[in-house]
Amino acid sequence: MDLYASRGFPAIQSSSLVVIRRGKRVAILQGELTFAHGYRIGIKERLSYDNAVVIEEYGYELWHNSEKIAWYDSQPHPNDPNLASTHPHHKHIPPNIKRNRVPAPQISFTEPNLPVLIQEIEDLIKGKIRP
């Protein structure tokens, strides 16, 4: 049974997540979570650890079949006042997914982001939100 499915995320069908150590206090989490109906999340996080795990940078891609429907990243856009409330956390959405960015208030460097992303996919599957 998949780690996330066993922790209350039964919508996950498979996971290829791996942690790659890059030294004593740094690791990369990367891979993909797959769901029903062709949904998946591509994940890459750079993690560091001193007294707590911190996400130093990340990229999350949400896919439906072969279409990228959104992505989150921590690339700062300090000249975009629309993103100031969650700087640097933001989400790219259609139309013009590369340039259309919105704040991402639930994404953090200090809290796990995967439960938020998994819930988003579960809501898409249930039709609660639209891609």
Q: Which residue range(s) make up the domain with 8?
A: 3-125
pLDDT band, very low/low/confident/very high, at 9 (cuts 50, 70, 90): confident
pLDDT band, very low/low/confident/very high, at 131 (cuts 50, 70, 90): low
Helices (H), the chain: 3-6, 114-125
Number of domains within the chain = 1
Find, among 74, 12, 57, the residue nearest to 37 by Cα. Answer: 12
Q: Which two tokens stand for residue 84?
A: 């100031």
Question: Strands 39-49 and 26-35: what pairing?
Answer: antiparallel
Asked if the structure places residue 130 within a domain, the reply is no
**Whole-prediction pTM:** 0.89
pLDDT tens for each residue of 28-50: 999 999 999 999 999 999 999 98
Q: According to the model, what pLDDT value does residue 7 have?
A: 58
Asked if the structure places residue 131 within a domain, the reply is no
Question: Strands 12-15 and 26-35: what pairing?
Answer: antiparallel
**pLDDT reading at 8 higher than 90:** no
